[in-house]
Amino acid sequence: MSYHRIKRAVLSLFLVLFSLPVICAPYLVNPGDVLRIDVWNEESLSREVMVRPDGFISLPMAGEIDTSNSTPTQVGEKISQALASYMKDAPRVVVSLVDVPGNKIFVIGKVVRPGEYKITSDTDVMQALSLAGGLNAFAAENDIRILRREADGTQTAIDFEYAKVKDGSDLQSNIILRSRDVVVVP
């Protein structure tokens, strides 16, 4: 094969690989997160705010903005809509994440280091157990549950059998955790 054919083949492969969509869940704002609000050409309205435990933020002129189940971009759109009635043109608002202390999971029970863990990327159950130092000698490894509160307030329990995941036979149960999930190790 000539050098130019190899070069074209590699370039074609590169273009195909990097044009594929990346599938990842969008980040949803959580209570406790710190947001940077920038309102274009309105320095007095730009600021950092912390999301309250009820999911709201308070801004001058915009008032109370609900950030629940919203991405930073969606929060910016809500702020822009709220400010539009006070301005000639709809303002351009950019919302950036400054800190994400609200994005956390909890691991309790018979692990080496139970506690609250701030997560900054997708984290599955095995990774959460690793953050907690692993199971201790008295853990019931096949009775682990993930407690999850849905947006409507209902709670669900998801079973997790450590031994099956450890031996590679039930990998689909090693789910990605959501913010505020609780991993219970009896």
Residue 125 CA to residue 185 CA, distance in Å, equals 11
**pLDDT at residue 13, rounded to an integer:** 47
Are the CB atoms for 177 and 128 separated by under 8 Å? yes
pLDDT of residue 3: 59
Q: Residues 72-93: pLDDT tens digits? A: 999 999 999 999 988 888 899 9
pLDDT in tens, the chain (186 residues): 565 566 565 545 444 444 444 456 788 999 999 999 999 989 999 999 999 999 999 999 999 999 999 999 999 999 999 999 888 888 999 999 999 988 999 999 999 999 999 998 899 999 999 999 999 999 999 999 999 998 788 999 999 999 999 999 889 999 999 999 999 999
Closest CA to 164 of 144, 182, 142, 181: 142
Task: Find the DSSP H helices in the chain.
Answer: 3-19, 72-84, 125-131, 162-166
Cα distances from 107 to residues 44, 81, 129, 183, in angstroms, run 42, 39, 7, 5
φ/ψ (deg, to 5) at 91: -75, 150
**What is the distance, to the nearest Å, from the Cα of residue 19 to the centroid of all Cα atoms in its chain?**
24
What are the structural domains of the chain?
34-99 (3.30.1950.10), 104-185 (3.10.560.10)
Q: What is the pLDDT of residue 90?
A: 85
* Beta-bridge partner residues of 35: 49, 97
